[in-house]
Structure 1
Amino acid sequence: MALRNPLAKLSRSALSQSAWRQTAATTLSSYSEQRCGLATAVPPVTQDATGSKGPTAMVFLNMGGPATTADVGDYLSRLFADADLIPLGRLQSYLGPLISRRRTPKIEKQYAAIGGGSPIRKWSEYQCEEMCKLLDKLCPESAPHKPYVAFRYTAPLTEEVYQQLLDDGFGKGRGGRAVAFTQYPQYSCSTTGSSLNELWKWRNRLEGKRVNGGVEPSGTIQWSVIDRWPTHPGLVEAFARNIEETLATYPEDRRNGVVLLFSAHSLPMSVINRGDPYAAEVAATVHAVMQRLNFSNPYRLCWQSQVGPYPWLGAQTSDTVANYVKKGQTDLALIPIAFTSDHIETLFELDQEVIHDANSPGVKRVESLNGNSVFIEGLADLAASHLRSNELCSHQMTLRCQGCTSDRCLEQKKFFAGAKEAALVR
Structure 2
Amino acid sequence: MSTRQADASVKPARPRVAVVLFNLGGPDNQDAVRPFLMNLFTDPAILRVPPFIRPFLARYIAHKRVPAAQENYRLMGGGSPLLPLTERQASALEADLKQDWDAKCFIAMRYWHPFSEAAVAAVKAWQPEEILLLPLYAQYSSTTTGSSLVAWREAAAKAGLAVKTTTLCCWFEDEAVLANAAALAQGTIDAAKAALPPGTPLRVLFSAHGLPQVIVDRGDPYQFQIEAYVAGLRRYLTDPAIDSLVCYQSRATPQQWLAPSTDDAVMEAGRDGVALVVVPVAFVSDHSETLVELDMEYRDLAEKHGVPGYFRAPVQNDDPGFIAALAGVARHAQSRGPGLCSTAGGRICPTPHGNCPFAQAGHDTTSRMAIPAC
TM exceeding 0.5: yes
Asked if residue 367 in structure 1 is aligned to residue 309 in structure 2, the reply is: no
8 A contact 1:56–1:145 mirrored in 2: yes
Report 1:43-122 matches (<5 A). Answer: 52=13, 54-90=15-51, 91-122=53-84
Inter-partner Cα distance in structure 1 for 2:160 and 2:234: 45
8 A contact 1:397–1:413 mirrored in 2: no
**Which sections of structure 2, spanning at least 5 residues, go unmatched?**
1-9
Q: Closer, same or farther in 2 for the Cα pair 1:203/1:409, shift >3 Å?
A: farther
Kindly report structure 1 stretches of 4+ aligned residues shifted beyond 6 Å.
Answer: 397-400, 403-409
Instruction: Quote the residue 2:372 is aligned against.
Output: 417
Q: 1:127 aligns with which of 79, 86, 89?
A: 89
Inter-partner Cα distance in structure 1 for 2:164 and 2:63: 39
Q: Aligned pair count?
A: 349
Question: What is the SS of the residue equivalent to 1:165?
Answer: helix
**Which sections of structure 1, spanning at least 5 residues, go unmatched?**
1-48, 171-175, 209-219, 422-426
Inter-partner Cα distance in structure 2 for 1:70 and 1:299: 40
Report the more deviating stretch, 377-386 or 252-261: 252-261
Q: 1:347 aligns with which of 288, 291, 300?
A: 291
Question: What is the SS of the residue equivalent to 1:187?
Answer: coil
Q: 2:191 aligns with which of 249, 271, 293?
A: 249
8 A contact 1:151–1:158 mirrored in 2: yes
Instruction: Quote the residue 2:4 is aligned against.
Output: none
Instruction: Quote the residue 1:152 is aligned against.
Output: 110
Q: Closer, same or farther in 2 for the Cα pair 1:256/1:386, shift >3 Å?
A: farther
Same amino acid, percent of matched pairs: 27
Instruction: Quote the residue 2:143 is aligned against.
Output: 190
Instruction: Quote the residue 2:277 is aligned against.
Output: 333
Instruction: Quote the residue 1:42 is aligned against.
Output: none
Question: What is the SS of the residue equivalent to 1:167?
Answer: helix
Cα shift readout 1:258-310 (whole Å, capped 9, x = no counterpart): 11100001111111110110000000110011111141411100001111232
Instruction: Quote the residue 1:258 is aligned against.
Output: 202
8 A contact 1:57–1:147 mirrored in 2: yes
Instruction: Quote the residue 2:229 is aligned against.
Output: 285
TM-score, length-scaled by structure 1: 0.76
8 A contact 1:79–1:85 mirrored in 2: yes
8 A contact 2:285–2:316 mirrored in 1: yes
Instruction: Quote the residue 1:24 is aligned against.
Output: none
Instruction: Quote the residue 1:271 is aligned against.
Output: 215
8 A contact 2:207–2:248 mirrored in 1: yes
Query: What one-letter code is carried by the residue in structure 2 that aligns with 1:392?
Result: G
Q: Closer, same or farther in 2 for the Cα pair 1:270/1:89, shift >3 Å?
A: farther
Instruction: Quote the residue 2:3 is aligned against.
Output: none
Asked if residue 396 in structure 1 is aligned to residue 347 in structure 2, the reply is: yes
Inter-partner Cα distance in structure 2 for 1:403 and 1:350: 29
Asked if residue 384 in structure 1 is aligned to residue 336 in structure 2, the reply is: no
8 A contact 1:113–1:348 mirrored in 2: yes
8 A contact 1:197–1:409 mirrored in 2: no
Inter-partner Cα distance in structure 1 for 2:132 and 2:63: 35
Inter-partner Cα distance in structure 2 for 1:86 and 1:313: 16
Report the more deviating stretch, 340-349 or 256-265: 256-265
Q: Closer, same or farther in 2 for the Cα pair 1:283/1:114, shift >3 Å?
A: same
Question: What is the SS of the residue equivalent to 1:202?
Answer: helix
Instruction: Quote the residue 1:181 is aligned against.
Output: 134
8 A contact 1:50–1:144 mirrored in 2: no
Inter-partner Cα distance in structure 2 for 1:152 and 1:290: 31
8 A contact 2:248–2:262 mirrored in 1: yes
Q: 1:318 aligns with which of 252, 263, 276?
A: 263
8 A contact 2:165–2:337 mirrored in 1: no
8 A contact 1:150–1:158 mirrored in 2: yes
Shift in Å at residue 361 of structure 1? 5.5
Question: What is the SS of the residue equivalent to 1:160?
Answer: helix
Shift in Å at residue 254 of structure 1? 5.0
Cα shift readout 1:351-393 (whole Å, capped 9, x = no counterpart): 1101122114611111111121111110011111122223522
Query: What one-letter code is carried by the residue in structure 1 that aligns with 2:168?
Result: I
Report the more deviating stretch, 184-193 or 241-250: 241-250
Shift in Å at residue 53 of structure 1? 5.4
> RMSD across aligned C-alpha pairs, in angstroms?
2.6
Inter-partner Cα distance in structure 2 for 1:263 and 1:76: 23
Shift in Å at residue 316 of structure 1? 0.9
Question: What is the SS of the residue equivalent to 1:264?
Answer: strand
